[in-house]
Structure formats: C-alpha cells, structure tokens
Amino acid sequence: MVTLDKLKSGFKGELEVLTEEPKLSIIRIKNKKLIKKVAWQIKEEFDILYALSVVDYTPVFELNYIFSNYRNADSLVLKVNIDEKDFSIDSITDTFNSANWEEREAYDLFGIKFNGHPDLRRILLPEDWPGHPLRKDFKVDDEIRNWTGLDLKF
Amino acid sequence: MVKENSIRLNIGPVHPAMHGVLKLILDVEGDTITKAQTEIGFLHRASEKIAEMRYFSNYYPIMDKLDYVSALNMEILYASVVEKAAGIEIPPRAVYIRTIMAEIQRIMSHLVFIGSFGEDLGNMTGFIWALRERELLMNVVEKISGGRLAPMYICNGGMFYDFPQGIENEILEALSIIEDKVKHEYNAMFTKNQIFLSRTKGIGVLTKDMVKKYGITGPIARASGIRRDLRKVSPYLAYDKVDFNIPVENDGDTYSRFVVRVMEILESIKIIRQCIKDLPAGSSKTAVPWIIRIPKKDTFVKQESSRGEMGIFLVTDGADKPYRLKLRSPTFFAIRALEELLVNIRVADAFVIVASIDPVMGEVDR
Amino acid sequence: MEESNGFSYPGLYEIVFMKAEKFINTVLNWGRSNSLWPLTFGTSCCAIEMMTFGATKVDSDRLGVLFTGDSPRQSDLILVSGTITKKMARRLLNVYEQMPDPKYVIAVGACNVSGGLYHDSYNTIEGIDRIMPVDAFIPGCPPRPEEFLDAVRVLQKLIKENKSKAQKNGNIRQA
C-alpha cells in the first residue's frame, strides 16, 4: 500500500506496523497528538472512516479507527491508546466527515472527549442518562435493570 | 433559533409514516423544510454490551434482532467473524447453503422495502402485493429453519440442519412466481405508474460527493453511481463462483434507489438458481463444540447486507466470550445524510426520502 | 323505593332499569369487542410480523381489527410490539394517555412480556406491565402472525365478560 510506506517513512519511531496484508493492515501510533496528521495522510488513499471501535483495557483505552475506500475492499486499522487520566483526543471530523456520529457514539458510550468536534452530544442515550455503559466498570445490576426511565428528561 | 414565520415540527418516534422509531425535527416555512435534524437511539438495546456476557454460540439470537428484516445476513456475518477468528473451516455445501439463504433473505428484505415504500406513497395495493410475495419465501424459510422472521438457522461451523428433501424445487417454484410478478405486475404498479414517477423522480438527489462525505454504502450508494458491492469487490461465501451483475443507477434520486433494489431482486434470483444447480453433496456442518475459546486477536469482517456494508470488529482475549464486539451498521451512516437531503424540499416528500433510505432502527441504534 | 322494617325492595322501575342496563352493557361490549381499531405502536422486530398480521395471509380485518389512521385519538387498542427502551417509556405512556377510554393493551413479544432476550440489557424495560396495565400478552420472539389473532380473540372474550383491565379499574363509561 502506498500510504503505508509513506506513513512509515513520515512518522519514524512513532508508528508501528502490526500486520501488513493486502486486505487489512493494522498500524499503531504511540502518540495520540499525531492522530490529526496521520488521518490527513491516510485521507490520500482512504475515503471514509468505516468504524470507530473503542476497547476498554482500563486504565488504558484503545481506539481502533477503521478506514476504507470506495475503489477496493482494503481496510486500514489505526490503533491509538489514550490514558484514563487524560481522557480526550483530537477529533478527525474535519478530515473525515463520516467520523462525526461515530465519535459522538464513542463519547456517549465511553465518555471520551473529542477536541474540536462540531457537535459533541450524546447520540444513543438521553442527555441525563447516568454513566457510560460500555465501560468495563459499568455493571448491569438489578438497580439499572429495574429502573423504568420514566424520570428521564423527555 | 426558530425564525418568526417558521414552525418547528417534531415527527416521530411514534409516527405511522416513520420507519421504526426515527425522530425528525424539521423547521418548516410554509411547506418547505429549511432545516432538518435527526434523533436516534430510541431502540438502543445494548447489543454490544450483551455480546460481552454471552458465549460465542449464544449470540446468534441477538444478531437476528439487529437488522430484523434481513436476519440471516446478520447471522452469516457473525458466523464468518467467529469462524475467521477461531480458524474454523466450513464444508463447501455449507458455503452454498449460506449463499442461498443470504440471497433469499435479501429478496425478502427488498420486498418489505417495496411494500413499505408503496405504503408511504399511498399505494396500499403495492404493500399488500409485496407482502404476499414475501410470504412465499417465508414459507420456504420456515420449512428449512423452523423460524420465520428470526430463523436461528446458522451456527458456528455451518448450520443447524441440512436442507430438507425436495426443498430446492419449492425454492425454484417460489422464485419463478416472484420473478414473474416483479417483472410484470410491479412495473405496472410502480415504474410505469405516472403518479409514482412524479412523486419519486428528481426528489432527494444524493450526489456521489455526498455519498463519499457521509460514508454511505450499499444500494443507496449504487443508486448514486458508485459501483461497489462487496460480493464482487472482495467475494466471500460462494459469490466468486456465480455469475451476476451489480445494478447501478446514476441519478441518485428516490426513483433510482427504488429501481436498484428491484433489479437486485432479479440478480439475487439468478444467484440462487446457479447455487441450487451447483449445490455440492456432502456434510453441511463442521462439528464445533458449543463453548469455544478464541486466543487474543482482533478480527474485522465486512459483508454486504441488504442495506449496505455491515461489519464486525471482534476483540478476543482467550476467554469463551468476546472482549469487545463492535457493530458497524450501514444505515447509521445513511441516516445522517438526511440532515442535508431534507433541506429545501416539501414536507410530503420528506417521507418518501426517508422511506427510500430504508432504515431499520434495530441496526442503527444497536 | 319504599322502605319498611329496614328491608328494601327494588320497585318495578328499578327492575326494568337493571335489566336494560345489563342489556345495554352487553350490546356495548359486543360492539367494543368487534371493532377494535388498533394503534400500531411498532418499534422493532415484532412490528414486521404485525405488518403481516394486517396483510393478506392472516388478515386482521375479519376480526374487526382495522388498521386505519394510526392515531391515538381514534384507537381502542394499543399493540405494543417491539422492545421498549428507557428512552421510549415516557413516549409510550404519552401516547397511551392520549387514547380515549375504554382502551385495551396487548403486549407483543418476549421483550414486552418479561424482557426476553434483552433481560440483561441496561437500556430496556423488562415487561411493559411495569408501567401500564396490560390485558393480553403474546409470547414469542417474534410471535407468529396467527398468535396475534389468538390474542385478539382472548381480548374480545375478556371485553364481553367485562373482565378487561379498563373495565376492572372503572375507567369506562357505563350505560
């Protein structure tokens, strides 16, 4: 892949290639501040942000940005780790417009702040829903199961 | 925020013309929409959290209820992810049976689309007809799997039961009826109907750039001139062994989105006929234990469901349950385009455009 | 009514009135049970089977269940089909409260009976009888369209026998 070689030479030491296959390559960047620059480079070959999956390895959260394009079926997975103490990362919505709702979803279900996001609100759950349910420390107990939600803001 | 002479309309989540529980917030001036917002999340059932509490084999019912109009596509997708992660090979007969079932489900899903699209245009006859044809395939699916809407047919390593004897002829019989109806009756009802044409042509035009901006895939993208179908681009199952075309339209309006889906029904019929002809003999299942453990790895699989490209990103850590399962749903991206699509059109056309996106909220909200 | 020795006897007028009331109620209930116009509150999977219930093969119309305008103001019966999430609960009640009395509720699908598949989800309500009175439950995930017919038959029987939840709670205008 052209972009992958460019990325490797452009971000020496900061970027690590985990697997390199024609269909699915996985790379990891060590510094989360580089995400905007890397995304800008990736934009040359990949059209859309296909999905954004957050994995909770408390105290570290791993963000998997999956990119894809319309020409072939290639995908690229970009892994970034963020720390629980500094729970924010730069938004890539100005590079990839399709990241908008995926980032809102990550904010909703994990509570990650995306700096520079145009409209960072909860998307699936109501504004006054307590907690961020997909984190591993959120346990589905009887209290939350018996709650009917009638006291939520309409 | 709202201008003096404009009204803010809240439509949904409970509205007969809404597909599922989608909410539209429209600012209307006269009869023209000036601003549109969407609100989703009314059917957020926590499928991703439940995945972390279930064994790999016990998650299939939840996959059924994600995109409940094309349940088998979802089951096959999940089976492919687990089998790829665990390194399970399935026998060739299972591959072909899965292809047949996926295409039967695609036809059924598109028939529901035709029906509900007709209903939204006030064409109740179209709705009744489409569901009547769907019932033919429903009977076949019921004979094969025992279930109707949520068949629970696919399992790790293949499927629960092989085809019952003589079902191939029944499938072919149902298909020939549907092909005849789609080619002749539906043309008279929809594509040659002047009222239908004037309500759909040139309405809600989605350009190529907008498709790329929002990341839309599937029939909606193909109606805007993007020739991309995962069945052709990266063939899975038996799609590289059969001959079929990808219907593409260039206008990007609601009419094209309708025509693409109707053409896809005919292509699916072609695929099923070829698969039944070449259906290999032999076993239809690899024996896999109910509880399996998958070592630590990331797996990503995407497939073409009826509404676009559905993907699963599976993270495993050596346990008997997934560590994290992320569902990438196609309509989640397509719904967002409504905020741009609905501007500067009439309120009555808004419902036609929403129907042409064909959202299934179970899959949008997950 | 004449009173003597602490006993009371119904007069002729009362007897006629009681007979007439019973007769009128019977007629009213007969009418109510045979023209149940539903509000199709479809949120998810069961809604697709509810569509089949209204289409040709099963044909709800023959029991008087007419899929009309889907307006809560003109409905007698609410078919709650599909999972109700915590975000949706207030909206369901809001629609239910807009319906005129007498109103009947059928809970469709395992999710609305007891939580079903989503019993350990953080965002669903485990059975809508936690938030509203329910007359008939349809089990199944999703139920077959024929089971909708069965539930309507059960509800009709309840209405004719004056046993529906609305009639028990007194939310009903008697003759």
Q: For chain C, what is the domain count?
A: 1
CB contact under 8 A, A50 and B311: yes
* Residue C143 DSSP code: P
Question: For residue C4, what are the β-bridge partners?
Answer: C7
Distance from CA of C86 to the nearest CA of A (A): 5
Q: Is residue B228 part of a domain?
A: yes
Contacts of B155 (CB under 8 A, 6+ apart): B57, B60, B79, B285, B288
Residue A64 distance to chain C (closest CA, Å) = 24
d(CA C74, CA A12): 69
The predicted structure's pLDDT at residue C1:
47
The CATH number that applies at residue C66 is 3.40.50.12280
Which helix (H) or strand (E) is C148 found in, with range? Answer: helix C145-160
- Residue C10 included in any domain: no
For strands A60-68 and A48-57, give the pairing. Answer: antiparallel
Q: Is residue B26 part of a domain?
A: no
At residue B103, the 3 state secondary structure works out as helix
| Cis amide bond preceding B91, omega within 30 | no
Residue pLDDT, tens place only, B35-58: 888 888 888 888 888 888 889 888
State what percent of residues in chain C have pLDDT above 90: 0
- Do the bridges between strand C3-4 and strand B158-159 make them parallel or antiparallel, or are there none, so unpaired? unpaired
Per-residue pLDDT of chain B (366 residues; tens, 9 = 90+): 556 778 888 887 877 667 778 888 888 888 888 888 888 888 888 888 888 888 988 899 888 888 888 899 999 999 999 999 888 889 999 999 999 999 999 999 999 888 888 888 878 888 888 888 888 888 899 999 888 888 889 988 888 888 888 888 999 999 999 999 888 888 888 888 888 888 888 888 888 888 888 888 889 999 988 888 888 888 888 888 888 899 998 888 889 999 999 999 999 999 999 999 988 888 888 888 888 888 988 888 889 888 888 999 999 988 888 999 999 888 888 888 888 888 888 888 888 888 888 888 888 888
* pLDDT at residue C175 in the model: 47
List subunits contacting chain B, requiring 3 or more Cβ pairs under 8 Å: A, C
Which residue of B68, B115, B131 is in closest CB contact with C44?
B68
Give me the residues of chain A with pLDDT under 70, please.
Answer: 1-2, 154
List all chains that touch chain A, counting a touch as 3 or more CB pairs closer than 8 Å.
Answer: B, C
Distance (Å) from the alpha carbon of A96 to chain B's nearest alpha carbon: 8
Query: Do A73 and B230 lie within an 8 Å CB cutoff?
Result: yes
Q: Are C122 and A140 in contact (CB under 8 A)?
A: yes
Cβ separation A64–B313 shorter than 8 A: yes
Cβ neighbours of B135 in C, within 8 Å? 52, 55-57
How far apart are alpha carbons A119 and C95 in whole angstroms?
30
Among C102, C105, C82, smallest CA distance to C93 is for C105
Average pLDDT over residues C143-170: 82
Say if C78 falls within a structural domain: yes
Which tokens sit at B223?
């109606």
Residue C95 lies in a domain: yes
* Chain B residues near any Cβ of chain A (below 8 Å): 40-41, 44, 46, 48-49, 53, 212-215, 221, 226, 228, 230, 233-234, 298, 300, 302, 311, 313, 315, 323-324, 326, 328, 332-333, 336, 365-366
**Model ipTM value:** 0.89
Domain extent for B227: 47-365
Pairing outcome for strands B7-11 and A60-68:
unpaired
Q: How far is CA B305 from CA A19, B80, B92, B104, C58, in A?
A: 27, 13, 21, 12, 29
Interface test with A, best of C120, C122, C131, C132 (most A CBs within 10 A): C122
- Flag whether B25 is in a domain: no
Find the CATH number of the domain harbouring B64: 1.10.645.10
Closest CA in chain C for residue B67: C45
In this prediction, residue B287 carries a pLDDT of 87
A154–C90 C-beta distance less than 8 A = yes
* A–B CB contacts, 8 A cutoff, strictly below: 77
Helix (H, G, I), strand (E, B) or coil at B1: coil
pLDDT at B3: 61
Residue C45 Cα, gap to closest chain B Cα (Å): 6
**Residue A150: its chain C contacts at CB < 8 A?**
89-90, 93, 131
Q: Give CA–CA dist A80/C72, Å, rounded.
A: 50
Write the DSSP symbol of residue B188: I
Residue B28 lies in a domain: no
Across the interface, whether the CB atoms of C89 and A148 are under 8 A apart is answered: yes
pLDDT of residue B176: 92
For A140, which of C87, C93, C122 is closest by C-beta distance? Answer: C122
Residue C131 lies in a domain: yes
Taking only the tens place, the pLDDT of each residue in B128-158 is 888 888 888 888 999 998 888 888 899 888 8
Cβ neighbors of A83 (< 8 A, separation 6 or more) are A59, A60, A61
- Count the domains in chain B: 1
Is residue B7 in a domain? Answer: no
Nearest-by-CA chain A residue for C94? A154
- Taking an 8 Å cut-off on Cβ atoms, the answer to whether C123 and B20 are in contact is no
CB contact under 8 A, A56 and B41: no
Percentage of residues of chain C with pLDDT beyond 70: 89
- Hey, are the CB atoms on A149 and C90 less than 8 Å from each other? yes
Chain A interface includes C93 (CB < 8 A): yes
Task: Give the per-residue pLDDT at A1.
Answer: 63
Question: Tens digits of per-residue pLDDT, C84-137?
Answer: 888 888 888 888 888 887 888 889 888 888 888 888 888 888 888 888 888 889
Q: pLDDT (tens digit, 9 = 90+) per residue, B84-93? A: 988 888 999 9
Per-residue confidence (pLDDT) for residue B17, from 0 to 100: 64
Which range of residues forms the domain containing residue C139? Answer: 37-168
Query: CA of C120: which chain B residue's CA is closest?
Result: B50
Predicted pLDDT of residue B269: 92
Cα separations in angstroms, C175 against C20, C29, C158: 9, 11, 18
DSSP B306: T
Sole residue written with tokens 């790790």: B156
pLDDT for B16 equals: 67
Residues A101, B336: C-beta atoms closer than 8 Å: yes
Please name the fold of domain A2-138: Beta Polymerase; domain 2 (3.30.460)
- The pLDDT assigned to B67 comes to 86
Under 8 Å between Cβ of C43 and C88: yes
Of B44, B221, B323, the CB nearest to A125: B44
